[in-house]
Amino acid sequence: MIHFLANPARFMRIGQAVLPWCWAVAGLCIGTGLWFALIVSPADYQQGESVRIMYIHVPSAWMALGVYTLIAVVSAMALVWKHPLAFLIGRAAAPLGAGFTVICLITGSLWGQTSWGTWWVWDARLTSVLVLFFLYLGYMALGAAFDDADRGNRAAALLALVGAVNVPIIKFSVDWWSTLHQPASVLRVGGPSIHPSMLTPLLLMAVGFIAYFLALLILRVRAEIAQRKVQAAMMVGATAPGMQTHET
Amino acid sequence: MSALAALIVFDIRLALRRGADTLVVLGFFVLTVILFPFGIGTDTVLLARIAPGLVWVTALLAAMLALDRLFLADFEDGSLDQLVLADQALELIVLAKAAAHWATTGLPLIVVVPVLALVLNMDAVGLGHLMLSLLLGTPTLTLIGTIGAALTLGARRAGVLISLLVLPLYIPVLIFGVALVTAAIDGIDPGPRLMALGGFLLMALALSPFAAAAALRQAVR
């Protein structure tokens, strides 16, 4: 399966076929999910209407973690089997994952303002997501820092693996640190198990976010491949005899 | 083994004869710590309370400042190609380079910490544990740093980039390094924190040479 998809042309054909379905699923799930989340589902008895932030916040948190895992997996594949496409997928997924992380942080901050009364608490989860955001930034910055695109790809893939080993350690440390520093009175979201009327929109939104991510990923990979083709064509054109008059 | 020992001795001697790198790192460390009373005020109780975190963060930044020198000179003059081709495993060579680098940029920080502790009004218990935590923590920082230094070889703005790569990975060491000192000051058993710090060091010792060596191979390819 992996090696089957490693052929860029084949990947693009399949991607092309899947793309409309991704858009359809994304539109459908996010649409109905929002309807359930904003209209059908009840307000929380403690937090009131602000609990509806959860339907954006929690799926984007899942996506932030999931996309980073995806980048780590494709990076390992890229380094082991040297699939050029795996590098491309990792590089294309990173800004999307960083975007989900930012959405998660912003919605978390808004939610914190309404339910904890402050824009930012040094809560373990918030802090871990913030660190994850910096891991994304490092990955993207390292990938873009080399004149030789191939070297950037390989360095970034290695960094993604190092980061993946470190994510659990950072998470554990921050959890421990937070319980040490935080007063125990800080409200914890969650608590009782979640009611189906809230779970349905949450899951719908999560599926919608995944489909939306896949659609954007296919678009980004396609654009990247097209750009490489253009570059290769320009290289060929530059060496052709007719192009000698071109200014250097 | 003797080749590795020779490499360590050579690197240390080189750093001592040039001297500038060690002095710059030390100067940065001391000056930055001294800046804090200007910013925060001269309340000795407050300074003593934040001293562990303050010294730790500054030591972490100072250790990071020196990182880009780790492989850069060897990369630029071509001796890195020779090291990659050498009979010794590249992972061991990374360890040797890290040891020499720590001896010339990490160890001097620990040596000046007592002076800073005096300035910041720390007591003897705090100082002892601060030095212990730095002794266990700074080698971990150097080892993690070898990965960042190797990955950014030949990159544009490598010096700034390295901080973005390495600082998030430094967070666990910072957390437990400071926790060890504050626990000792508050009279809590610092043992578990000490073990966590030691665990991080062992893990970095076992894993980071492989990542750094892989990055070095990419850099010289």
Asked which of A34-43, A184-193, B20-29, B151-160 is least confident by mean pLDDT, the reply is A184-193
Query: What is the model's pLDDT at position A193?
Result: 60
How many CA within 13 A on the CB side of residue A6?
A: 14
Reported as a single tens digit per residue, the pLDDT across A94-113 is 999 999 999 999 998 888 88
State the ipTM, two decimals. 0.86
**Count of A-B CB contacts under 8 Å:** 74
Instruction: Check if A174 contacts B (Cβ < 8 Å).
Output: yes
- Check CB contact of B26 with chain A, cutoff 8 Å: no
* Mean per-residue pLDDT of chain A: 83
What pLDDT shows up at residue A186?
Answer: 40
Cβ of A155 within 8 Å of Cβ of B200? The answer is no
pLDDT of residue A182 exceeding 70, the answer is no
| pLDDT, position B219 | 87
Instruction: Locate A68 and state its tokens.
Output: 């980073």
Average pLDDT, chain B: 90
- Tell me, what's the pLDDT at A181? 58
Q: Is A176 on the interface with B (CB under 8 A)?
A: yes
Asked if A141 reaches chain B (Cβ–Cβ under 8 Å), the answer is yes
- The partner residues of A44 in beta bridges, in order of sequence, read A48
**C-alpha torsion sign, points B28, B29, B30, B36:** positive
Domain extent listing, chain A: 19-181+198-235
Alpha-carbon dihedral angle through residues B64, B65, B71, B73, given to the nearest 10 degrees: -170
Chain A residue with CA closest to B148: the answer is A159
For residue B4, the distance in angstroms to the closest alpha carbon of chain A comes to: 26
Q: Kind and range of the H or E element at A165?
A: helix A149-181
In this predicted structure, the answer to whether residue A187 has a pLDDT above a threshold of 70 is: no
Sorted by where each begins, the domain ranges of chain B are: 2-220
**Per-residue pLDDT tens for A105-137?**
999 888 888 877 788 877 777 888 899 999 999
pLDDT of residue B88: 85
HSE-CB of B150 using CA atoms within 13 angstroms = 32
Please tell me which of the candidates B165, B167, B179 has its beta carbon nearest to residue A159: B165
Distances (CA, A) of A74 to A157, A160, B15: 8, 9, 40
